[in-house]
Amino acid sequence: MTGLATPLAPGAVLYVRFHPVGRPALGEDAYDGLLGLLAEVTPVVQALPPDAALMDVRGAVRYFGHDPEGLARLVRLRSLFRYGADCAVGIAGNPMLARMAARDGAPGSVRTLPADPDAVTAFLARRPAAALDGVGPATARTLCAYGLDSAGRIAAAPLPALQRILGAAAGRRVHERARGIDPTPVTPGARARSTGAEHRFTGDELDPDHRRRALLTLADGLGARLRGTGQVAHGLTLTVRYADGSSTTRTRTLAEPTAHTPALTAAAYALHGALGLQRARVRAVALRAEGLKDARLAAHQLTFDPADDKARRVEAAVDKARARFGAAAVGPAARLEVA
């Protein structure tokens, strides 16, 4: 492969995914603390909630006198000591390759992808199309229908052919990704105010109804959490994780800021339905309420629909029952137990 264009130096990007020891998931406070820990190494840290982050360590290599692998070990030791969280780290020349290097890595692993073009070609050759950034299940099915089921085959395909299949812009982007080119910078900034939860299935989940039940459970929990803290959300993000380690994330802006469970559930169902996951092997689904603000500062569009008023009164009664008897005391009949 030639022309591995990237604006970053070899090994300049670390993708860090945290794994809490002895707990099913990171809490909000722990995640914020871990982001602060990474900022002690480099100011160029991009949060990837709920449990990951990207780091541009070009300046840190010179400042600390360690190579990227040494910085990865430093991050791991500090996260274990301070927060009881191990991490898997991928090191590469750009964000996409760093994420792919870390994918499926066990806690404590540090995987480095050399900048040598031949090494990148060999690394990508057998990766499925869906493992590339920007290739969701629908795009992957389209590519596979033309025999382009791996990154190696996509990279070898003529660019005009890909553009006829996917469109000019998408075809060029996928062709670049298949060749290991990702011009996306690591964008530093504070994590947006949000809260979320994830449901992990015991195996590959192919049943869309079961996935919808999990989404109902997550939306119900998010709504209760927001109402309990007097907050509303401006948007909702759905992340679907697959058996091959890849994931798809989609965000929808809500019609109005809300903590109303039916509105959150409807948005979650719409995001899920738009992915078209007919045969996808899903391992986990996660919902995140984005753009939180004080409910007292949010406007609510009044309606003459008595069903809406009734639903909100029932929701208030459910919240009171849960506050008194526990979160499992009452809720939607179709919800699942979240581990």
Distance CA 90, CA 41 (A): 16
C-alpha angle 254-258-263 in degrees, rounded to nearest 5: 65
Closest by CA to 204, choosing from 129, 280, 269, is 280
Residues 219/261, Cβ–Cβ less than 8 Å: yes
The reply to whether the predicted model has a pTM over 0.95 is: no
Which has the higher per-residue pLDDT, 105 or 317? 105
Q: What b/e sequence results for 284-310 when a residue is b if at least 16 CB atoms lie within 10 Å of its CB, and e otherwise?
A: bbbbbbbbbeebeeeeeeeeeeeeeee
- Kindly state the greatest CA–CA separation across the chain: 67
- Return the CATH number at 82: 3.30.70.270
Whether the bond between 50 and the residue before it is cis, its omega within 30 degrees of 0, is yes
What is the Cα–Cα distance from 236 to 288, expressed in whole angstroms? 6
Average pLDDT over residues 280-289: 92
Cα 282 to chain centroid, rounded: 14
pLDDT of 4 reads 40
pLDDT of 291 strictly over 50: yes
Q: Cα–Cα distance between 70 and 115 in angstroms, integer?
A: 17
pLDDT greater than 90 at residue 187: no
If asked whether residues 1 and 79 sit together in one domain, one would say yes
Q: Which domain holds residue 175?
A: 126-182
CATH assignment at residue 175? 1.10.150.20
The DSSP bridge pattern shows strands 231-242 and 13-20 to be unpaired
Residue 308's pLDDT band, with cuts at 50, 70 and 90, is low
Domain contains 334: no
How many domains is the chain built from? 3
Q: Within a 10 A sphere around the Cβ of 95, how many other Cβ atoms?
A: 27
3-state secondary structure at position 41? coil
- Examine the fold and report which residue of 81, 113, 145 is the final residue of a domain before the chain moves on: 113
Q: Are 95 and 182 in contact (CB under 8 A)?
A: yes
The pLDDT tens digits for 219-255 are: 998 998 888 888 889 899 999 999 888 889 998 988 8
Query: Residue 5 has what pLDDT?
Result: 40
Q: Are residues 102 and 135 in the same domain?
A: no
Output phi, psi for 199, to 5 deg: -115, 120
Using the structure block, give the residue that is written with the tokens 């008897």.
Answer: 325
Domain boundary among 82, 113, 144: 113
Give per-residue pLDDT as tens, 212-229.
999 999 999 899 888 888
Q: Quote the pLDDT of residue 9.
A: 62
Q: What is the pLDDT of residues 26-62, one digit of tens each?
A: 877 888 899 999 999 999 999 887 789 999 999 999 9
Mean pLDDT computed over every residue of the chain: 85
Rounded to 10°, the helix 117-125/95-102 angle is 50
Query: Is residue 338 assigned to a domain?
Result: no
Percentage of the chain exceeding pLDDT 70: 84
337 in a domain, yes or no? Answer: no
- Looking at the fold, whether 172 and 216 belong to one and the same domain comes out as no
pLDDT at residue 87 is higher than 80: yes
Write down the pLDDT at residue 302. Answer: 47
Do 50 and 132 lie in one domain? The reply is no
Residue 120 located in a structural domain = no
- Predicted confidence band at 1 (pLDDT cuts at 50, 70, 90)? very low
Tell me how far CA of residue 148 lies from CA of 131, 152, 165, in angstroms: 13, 8, 11
